[in-house]
Structure 1
């Protein structure tokens, strides 16, 4: 299990909770499958899928998984049946069906079809590093990250976190493309997104592009700033850094993946444990480095 995106949050105060207590609190919100009339359900499940515990810990970093199940009932199916039923009634009675009656009919159709609808499962993974006062969610969008934090907050009673970066880092990213203050352990790759500062300003997306070229520098000098930038860090990982410090398309190097290659594939739990310990350790190290690079402080 290797995270692909990162939403990074700082704990504003230390968590005074044991793993045993946290397990009990998560158990109160354990995942349950959709009932016949549930559109969706959400709850905590084992990070190991078949495991019995609702969390997994390695070196003080606690891995938690939120599972969501949704019933797939396409609106086009409901609306088609509704239209057919309305047309039939209007043909038989010679009068139109009002909006309130149509809404009631629609609810009846949903109620009847919902138990027969297929279900779709999705997972949101995250971990808490208590000793580093850090919470990490494997999500590319705010909505998924907030859903994870909200459920965790509901289970724990409180979760005092703020985004690791509460101000845009676009000025730093833009300076890097101008050759200013680029950290020695950061290598700029060939992908970026630049945007003009006006509200409806032009957006320039670059792929497989020499970002040090005169063309790109001219765009920056004309007023565009960097919204996203692909980088490699410390020969360990590559990622797309966004101006709000969301990390997308996270990829770990082959050297990282090879470190646990000697664990037999049939030892699933052992591989998951080793990979999580390795991955989460590097993510914490990366997050600490980002705090240094962008001078981030939870008290700011």
Structure 2
């Protein structure tokens, strides 16, 4: 369900479940039109047609944003536009200028969109009303920004704020690798990346490799800083922590989901409860390992 986790906190008021459902209906997903390149909207998290657009499992809200795109190869658009430009030149004796060429390319793209292949991708969103936490299963900041923008448009009082900790992820990872003493409840796995801070931006990556070696400590002492570090929480959830405090490549250990999918035809509730329950323990533990959350105060006016 969640492969990545970009973590935020809720800063404003959160509407009721019913109000969220009503608001999301105004942004329900619709397929791309014939000449439409992209469409984004909310779909039922359970995957059931005409189902609710927000699910509450154990007090945790789950949403799912669907994005559909149409891709027309740029090389095909260019070729079609060039063919049309050649026809114009042959007919009129006039060679199309740059602006006309741009228009011809746009016309070619619009003509090709109705037969272009479509691609879909869905993104999970988790809202924890009690912990005031907002988590997006996204690998890009652009997708997170799009989701937040959509929700702000339709949910009165909805505000999302960045999470700041007393210790940066980079500083903490440096300390854990140098001392080989991870925070309580965590263990260091076998993947990391170190990057130089100078103009060279030289990077060293370790994959499937023990990290308790002097070579890594030497890199850190020479000024390279960790940008990624694989860890496991409570022997139940493995992940990669990044320099920007993103939790990537989430993987639940064997046995965490035992019996849920086997014993139930519809395991959505059980899987959702376990996922949010495990991550609901991991994320506070991680924030605590980074020194706890802090509020950044604006500098006083001069």
SS in structure 2 at match of 1:95: coil
Find the aligned partners of 1:161 and 1:176 in 2 and give their Cα distance. Answer: 30
Deviation of the 1:262 alpha carbon: 4.0
Find the aligned partners of 1:36 and 1:138 in 2 and give their Cα distance. Answer: 29
Deviation of the 1:147 alpha carbon: 1.5
Find the aligned partners of 2:52 and 2:119 in 1 and give their Cα distance. Answer: 23
Deviation track 1:201-222 (CA, whole Å, cap 9, x = no partner) reads: 2111111222121111111111
Q: Tell me the residue number matched to 2:211.
A: 211
TM-score, normalised via structure 1 length: 0.92
The answer (yes or no) to whether the contact 2:228–2:242 under 8 Å persists in 1 is yes
Find the aligned partners of 2:168 and 2:198 in 1 and give their Cα distance. Answer: 16
1:222 aligns with 2:209: no
Deviation of the 1:82 alpha carbon: 0.8
Q: Tell me the residue number matched to 1:294.
A: 290
The answer (yes or no) to whether the contact 1:195–1:224 under 8 Å persists in 2 is yes
Deviation of the 1:180 alpha carbon: 6.1
1:192 aligns with 2:163: no
The answer (yes or no) to whether the contact 1:124–1:148 under 8 Å persists in 2 is no
Q: Tell me the residue number matched to 1:8.
A: 7
Go from structure 1 to structure 2 and tell me whether the alpha carbon gap of 1:298 and 1:35 turns closer, same or farther (over 3 Å shift): farther
Structure 2: stretches of 5+ with no match in the other structure: 297-302
SS in structure 2 at match of 1:101: helix
Q: Tell me the residue number matched to 2:31.
A: 33
Deviation track 1:155-192 (CA, whole Å, cap 9, x = no partner) reads: 21443222223673100000000116521311111110
Deviation of the 1:117 alpha carbon: 1.7
Q: Tell me the residue number matched to 2:250.
A: 250
The answer (yes or no) to whether the contact 2:11–2:158 under 8 Å persists in 1 is no
The answer (yes or no) to whether the contact 1:162–1:298 under 8 Å persists in 2 is no
The answer (yes or no) to whether the contact 1:188–1:232 under 8 Å persists in 2 is yes
Go from structure 1 to structure 2 and tell me whether the alpha carbon gap of 1:64 and 1:298 turns closer, same or farther (over 3 Å shift): farther
Q: Tell me the residue number matched to 2:20.
A: 22
Deviation of the 1:298 alpha carbon: 5.3
Q: Tell me the residue number matched to 1:273.
A: 269
Deviation of the 1:199 alpha carbon: 4.2
Find the aligned partners of 2:268 and 2:139 in 1 and give their Cα distance. Answer: 22
Aligned residues: 294
Structure 1: stretches of 5+ with no match in the other structure: none
Find the aligned partners of 2:203 and 2:137 in 1 and give their Cα distance. Answer: 27
Deviation track 1:21-79 (CA, whole Å, cap 9, x = no partner) reads: 11001111111111122111111110112241101111211000111111222211111
1:67 aligns with 2:63: no
